[in-house]
Amino acid sequence: MSKLANTKDLFKKAYDGGYAIGAFNVNNMEILQAIVDAGHEERAPLILQVSAGARKYARHEYLVKLVEAAMLTTDIPIVLHLDHGEDFEVCKSCVDGGFSSVMIDASAKPFQENIKITKQVVEYAHARGVTVEAELGKLAGVEDAVNVKAEDATYTDPAQVKEFVEATGVDSLAIAIGTSHGAFKFKGDPKLDFARLDTISKLVPGFPIVLHGASSVPQALVDECNKYGGKLPGAKGVPEEMLRQAARSAVCKINIDTDLRLAMTATIRKVFVEKPEEFDPRKYLGPARDAIKAVVKNKLKNVLGCSGKA
């Protein structure tokens, strides 16, 4: 079995090649299998990310062993990454517990405190071959342990980026340019601040940028969900064309979770409505897995540009 990859070489190749690696959230076996089978078929490197909520739900040990099992089925590079690590302790526990990459998200803290905590995580992780992502600026929406009201959301200040990157030694940086977590990202027309992204990338040439909250929330998926009893009026995501543009730039990692949740939920709703007599979990989790796999394959091939890069 090959070892977990960290993000170092993958991001260098993605930066130079003008594509992005997909980072997909894992919460159970079916989601993991769908992502890994999609990556395997597309020959795409993958970042499998685990939030605090996922660790609580599925438990750390199970998630690590499930990912190890997945790695027996494929030779594509796989990163096991902590999503939105809240403090040094949770990052340490993932570094010690077999992850190859961690995110320390101290973005809600004052700038100097964010630097201090990020630096502490970087020192601990780098000594153990683990790469680190940090965040500067605040995304709108609800994150694990990071509650930011839309009105308080602030985009990343380019003036802080160079100092942050140099002072912390971090391997990649999540920035806020208008994306947000969940299915309701924009009230009006979708808009991302590409000028800000451009300014930031010029200040730190060659440095990998990360985009969180990058689900597209395709209308077809929302309609499918609603058709079978879901209630998602007004759900709106980041258009695929904007993600293609980001993937060609300094953005090397694009985070997607909501689209997988929508595909899974729409499919399960459909099975329950069309076959109310069904109670074998494999009869709804199996089709849900297929639906997630199709979503991931489309992202890898048609949006992120990372198919064939494994």
Active site residues: 83
Q: Are 39 and 256 in contact (CB under 8 A)?
A: no
Q: Are 11 and 34 in contact (CB under 8 A)?
A: no
Residue 55 sits in the site that holds ligand G3H (CB under 6 A): no
Residue 212 sits in the site that holds Zn ion (CB under 5 A): yes
Alpha-carbon distance of 78 to 66, in angstroms, equals 13
What angle separates helix 258-274 from helix 219-227, to the nearest 10 degrees?
Answer: 30
What are the φ/ψ torsions at residue 175 (nearest 5 degrees)? Answer: -120, 160
Number of residue whose CB is nearest Zn ion: 212
Burial 61-73 (b: 16+ CB within 10 A, else e): eebbebbeebbee
Contacts of 219 by beta carbon, 8 Å cutoff, 6+ apart: none
CB of 67 to Zn ion, least distance (A): 19
Contacts of 170 by beta carbon, 8 Å cutoff, 6+ apart: 118, 122, 132, 133, 134, 164
Alpha-carbon distance of 206 to 253, in angstroms, equals 14
Report the candidate in 156, 69, 144, 157 with the shortest Cα–Cα distance to residue 103.
144
Residue 83 sits in the site that holds ligand 13P (CB under 6 A): yes
CB of 270 to ligand 13P, least distance (A): 21
Interface with ligand 13P (CB under 6 A), residue total 13
Q: Which stretch binds ligand G3H (CB under 6 A): 47-55, 61-69, 154-162, 277-285?
A: 47-55
CB of 37 to ligand G3H, least distance (A): 21
Options 48, 54, 94, 254; binder of ligand G3H; rule CB under 6 A? 54
The tokens describing 287, both together, are 């089709």
CB of 93 to ligand G3H, least distance (A): 17
Residue 27 sits in the site that holds ligand 13P (CB under 6 A): no
What is the footprint of ligand 13P within residues 243-262 (CB under 6 A)? 255-258
Q: Which stretch binds Zn ion (CB under 5 A): 112-120, 152-160, 206-214, 270-278?
A: 206-214
Q: What is the x/- site pattern for ligand G3H, positions 80-99, by CB under 6 A?
A: ---xx---------------
Alpha-carbon distance of 155 to 81, in angstroms, equals 24
Options 8, 28, 53, 190; binder of ligand G3H; rule CB under 6 A? 53
What is the footprint of ligand 13P within residues 157-186 (CB under 6 A)? 181-182
Residue 135 sits in the site that holds ligand 13P (CB under 6 A): no
Report the candidate in 240, 180, 253 with the shortest Cα–Cα distance to residue 21.
253
Query: Beta-strand (E) ranges in 190-243?
Result: 209-211
Q: Which does 53 bind (CB under 5 to 8 A by kind): ligand G3H, ligand 13P, Zn ion, none?
A: ligand G3H
Q: Which does 30 bind (CB under 5 to 8 A by kind): ligand G3H, Zn ion, ligand 13P, none?
A: none
What is the footprint of ligand G3H within residues 141-180 (CB under 6 A)? 143-144
3-state class (DSSP) for residue 13: helix
Residue 297 sits in the site that holds ligand 13P (CB under 6 A): no
Residue 25 sits in the site that holds ligand G3H (CB under 6 A): yes
Query: Regarding beta strands 172-175 and 131-136, do their DSSP bridges make them parallel or antiparallel, or are they unpaired?
Result: parallel
> In the block, which residue shows the tokens 């709106």?
236
Residues at the contact surface with ligand G3H, assessed by CB under 6 A = 25, 51, 53-54, 83-84, 143-144, 181, 257
Residues at the contact surface with ligand 13P, assessed by CB under 6 A = 25, 83-84, 181-182, 212-215, 255-258
